[in-house]
């Protein structure tokens, strides 16, 4: 069974990257196009005692947008995964500080592990990362 299912590894990575990339972009798009929505996010961060919320809000929003934009084509996927994990680790720590329970922490927490998984596995063969690696004269 394992051998047959492992043949789908690259397709599942592609599906994960496409879905997660679109989800991240969709999730922050309103903050990018609306200063009022960015202000709301900054106020939310202030409410959960985030240090420097005026800096943290746009930093988190633009990081998520960039991660999504990189994951869709599978470009710099390992780095995008690390940044994803770091961004949502901060979110989980902040939410723990205001008493969020396990169920409420699941959405941001699972993104930590998805980020770490992508950082460790890479984008798979259906990606720009793979195409660039194949064309590179220096192969690691």
Tell me whether residue 70 is in a domain.
Answer: yes
pLDDT higher than threshold 90 for residue 126 = yes
Whole-model pTM over 0.95: no
Tell me whether residue 54 is in a domain.
Answer: yes
Domain limits for position 41: 2-135
Evaluate whether 65 touches 28 at the Cβ level (below 8 Å): yes
Tell me whether residue 87 is in a domain.
Answer: yes
Tell me whether residue 80 is in a domain.
Answer: yes
Tell me whether residue 45 is in a domain.
Answer: yes
Mean pLDDT of 48-69: 98
The per-residue pLDDT for 1 is 63
Tell me whether residue 37 is in a domain.
Answer: yes
Tens-place pLDDT, residues 66-118? 999 999 999 999 999 999 999 999 999 999 999 999 999 999 999 999 999 99
Tell me whether residue 64 is in a domain.
Answer: yes
Closest CA to 71 of 82, 58, 57: 82
Tell me whether residue 140 is in a domain.
Answer: no
pLDDT higher than threshold 70 for residue 140 = no
Percentage of residues in the chain having pLDDT higher than 70? 96
65 contact partners, CB below 8 Å, separation of at least 6 = 24, 25, 28, 29, 32
How far, in Å, are 23, 37, 56, 80, 107 from residue 30 at the CA level? 12, 6, 16, 21, 19
- Alpha carbons 8 and 117: distance in angstroms, whole number: 16
How far, in Å, are 23, 60, 62, 76 from residue 57 at the CA level? 18, 5, 9, 23
Evaluate whether 46 touches 93 at the Cβ level (below 8 Å): no
Count structural domains, the chain.
1
């Amino acid at each position: 069974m394992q051998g047959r299912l492992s043949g789908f590894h690259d397709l599942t990575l592609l599906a994960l990257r496409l879905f997660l990339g679109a989800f991240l972009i969709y999730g922050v798009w309103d903050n990018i196009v609306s200063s009022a929505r960015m202000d709301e996010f900054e106020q939310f961060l202030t409410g959960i005692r985030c240090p420097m919320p005026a800096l943290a809000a746009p930093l988190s929003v633009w990081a998520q947008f960039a991660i999504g934009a990189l994951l869709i084509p599978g470009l710099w996927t390992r780095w995008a995964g690390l940044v994803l994990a770091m961004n949502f680790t901060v979110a989980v720590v902040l939410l723990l500080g205001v008493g969020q329970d396990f169920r409420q922490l699941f959405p941001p927490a699972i993104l930590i592990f998805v980020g770490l998984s992508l950082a460790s596995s890479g984008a798979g063969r259906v990606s720009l990362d793979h195409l660039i690696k194949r064309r590179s004269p220096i192969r690691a």
